A and B are shown apart, each in its own frame.
Chain A
Amino acid sequence: MFLPRALTGLRSSMAQAPIELERAAMSLGRPPMAAIWQTTMRLAAPGVAASVALVALGAANELTGTLMLAPNGTRTLATKFWALTSELDYMAAAPYALLLILLSLPLTVLLRLQAERALRR
């Protein structure tokens, strides 16, 4: 369900690393796997991290998917919040909402910082 989200980040970051870098690393004495690891993978790392963050954010907030696919009795922050708000018990729902916001905050800030860094380049 979150695959497209993960792939966009991964794809663009892999495409940024030209094959010449791998070749340069090989000509500098790195075996092929080490060359790929130290160039393409190294350059893709920020993209991988961003993808992980995006997927984590999506997964934490997901409601419909969880309701449909999770086994009976599974409780997540999102389902709990939804259950309580539908009972109009906003007071009880508030801590869950707050927790969701708090959990998303660090990753959101991180993504924002990265986007700014990418822009400056």
Chain B
Amino acid sequence: MTLLSLTGISKRYGAVTALDRATLEIKAGTLTAIVGASGSGKTTLLRLIAGFEAPDAGRIAFAGAEIAGPSAFVPAHRRAIGLVAQEGALFPHLSVGGNVGFGMDHRSPDAVDALLDAVELDPAIRSRMPHELSGGQQQRVALARALARRPKLMLLDEPFSALDAGLRANMRQMVKRRLTEEGVTGILVTHDQQEALSFADQLAVLEEGRVVQAGSPRELYLQPRTEMLAKFLGDALIIEGIVQSGETDTPLGRVRVGRATADGQVRVLLRPEQVRLVSWSEGTPTAEIVSASFEGPVTVVTFRAAGVQFTLKVPSADAPVQGRASIVLVGTGHVIPQ
């Protein structure tokens, strides 16, 4: 069931177009990550969904009713949409308990404690003030505060960006667990593609105010619609090749591509983990190693194959450092549409 649908949303600030006919559907109970470079319109999109601003064109429907569009505008406080802002945005003049209880219709210490417990905080923290908490604790309190209103949809605006790496992964898992268990649909806005890939059921990529592609993380990672998208979601090898009945000849050797691909010149995407460099044997595609630079777990190997230079991160354990190696390709390549 679709919980939220955005249809042809546009928003301009003066001469700047923040959103340009963006369209997106979000199913109830799922987690969606919206990714994009800064300035791609993702924060604007979140503000429109939250109801802090109205779109110039298009409509937003939430739980079967239009909440923004030509015929209606429901203000933020009547939308039942929760929000966790970038740095928590806790009310500095209220204690943790006061913050969590802020949105409750019937405030009770037990309910506050239960929520603090749900976000894995010690309820004894209740009487502390926000500036006495660490960044991670503040974010947990912000989540508890937003959950207190039992929203159907939770908006997460880069909530992990201020945390250090280890804590970030931890928080991400906690938030994911919490939302899934409470049955709350989640939208995470982030510029960190790794975070997006590991958090979401659905990934939507924004580019210059448009949703360029939306789908499962696996689909977007392996079958991106554009070259830019391919590079945005991770390291990518994009190679020229010539298709002949479902197989492509490339400088790296022969790659299988989808059967439906028409014969001719194409550009094929391979992820670095699909390319293996093994000890050389006669009659295989050959990589002439140009340089290898050791970086701990991985070694960055630059090599030449059929006259074209490539750079690849290879697990250090069996990385070739000089001479030549054979190239083995794993899985299928993805032909990037022209």
**Cβ-defined partner of A21 (8 Å) among B52, B89, B148:** B89
B143 in contact (CB, < 8 A): no
Contact B93 A26 (CB under 8 A): no
Q: Which residue of A lies closest to B148 (CB)?
A: A28
Bound together, the chains give a CA A118 to CA B186 distance in angstroms of 39
Contact B149 A28 (CB under 8 A): yes
A106 in contact (CB, < 8 A): no
Contact B52 A121 (CB under 8 A): no
B77 in contact (CB, < 8 A): yes
Chain A residues whose C-beta falls within 8 Å of the C-beta of B148 in the assembled complex: 28
Partner-binding segment picked from A35-43, A70-78, A92-100: A35-43
**Cβ-defined partner of B92 (8 Å) among A27, A31, A32, A43:** A43
Contact B85 A24 (CB under 8 A): yes
A-B pairs with the 10 shortest C-beta distances?
A28-B103, A20-B89, A27-B83, A26-B76, A24-B89, A20-B85, A26-B77, A29-B77, A31-B77, A28-B102
Interface string of B74-114 (1 = CB under 8 A from A): 01110101110111011111000000001100000000000
Chain B residues whose C-beta falls within 8 Å of the C-beta of A27 in the assembled complex: 50, 76-77, 79, 81-83, 146
Q: Which residue of A lies closest to B145 (CB)?
A: A28
B89 to chain A, nearest CB (A): 4
Known A28-B102, A28-B145, A28-B149: A23·B85 in contact at CB below 8 Å: yes
B140 to chain A, nearest CB (A): 15
A58 in contact (CB, < 8 A): no
A29 to chain B, nearest CB (A): 5
- Would you call the interface of chain A mostly helix, strand, loop, or mixed? helix
Q: Which residue of A lies closest to B51 (CB)?
A: A26
The range of chain A's interface size is 10 to 19
Contact B89 A18 (CB under 8 A): yes
List 20 contacting pairs A-B, 8 Å CB cutoff, sorted by A. Answer: A20-B87, A21-B89, A23-B52, A23-B89, A24-B85, A24-B90, A24-B91, A24-B142, A26-B75, A27-B76, A27-B83, A28-B77, A28-B102, A28-B145, A28-B146, A31-B75, A31-B77, A38-B91, A43-B92, A121-B131
**Cβ-defined partner of B103 (8 Å) among A18, A29, A39, A42:** A29
Chain A residues whose C-beta falls within 8 Å of the C-beta of B146 in the assembled complex: 27-28
List 19 extra interface pairs beyond A20-B86, A27-B146, CB under 8 A. Answer: A21-B89, A21-B91, A23-B83, A24-B83, A24-B89, A24-B90, A24-B142, A26-B52, A27-B50, A27-B79, A27-B83, A28-B77, A28-B145, A28-B148, A28-B149, A29-B103, A31-B77, A38-B91, A121-B131
Contact B77 A23 (CB under 8 A): no
B148 to chain A, nearest CB (A): 8
Contact B92 A25 (CB under 8 A): no
Contact B77 A30 (CB under 8 A): yes
Interface string of B47-65 (1 = CB under 8 A from A): 0001110000000000000
- Number of A-B pairs, beta carbon distance below 8 Å: 57
Chain B residues whose C-beta falls within 8 Å of the C-beta of A38 in the assembled complex: 91
Bound together, the chains give a CA A29 to CA B146 distance in angstroms of 10
Chain B residues whose C-beta falls within 8 Å of the C-beta of A31 in the assembled complex: 75, 77
Chain A residues whose C-beta falls within 8 Å of the C-beta of B103 in the assembled complex: 28-29
Contact A29 B75 (CB under 8 A): no
Chain B residues whose C-beta falls within 8 Å of the C-beta of A21 in the assembled complex: 89, 91
Contact B76 A23 (CB under 8 A): yes
Q: Which residue of B lies closest to A35 (CB)?
A: B77
Chain A residues whose C-beta falls within 8 Å of the C-beta of B85 in the assembled complex: 20, 23-24
Chain A residues whose C-beta falls within 8 Å of the C-beta of B90 in the assembled complex: 24
Bound together, the chains give a CA A43 to CA B91 distance in angstroms of 9
Chain A residues whose C-beta falls within 8 Å of the C-beta of B145 in the assembled complex: 24, 28
Bound together, the chains give a CA A39 to CA B92 distance in angstroms of 9
Contact B75 A43 (CB under 8 A): no
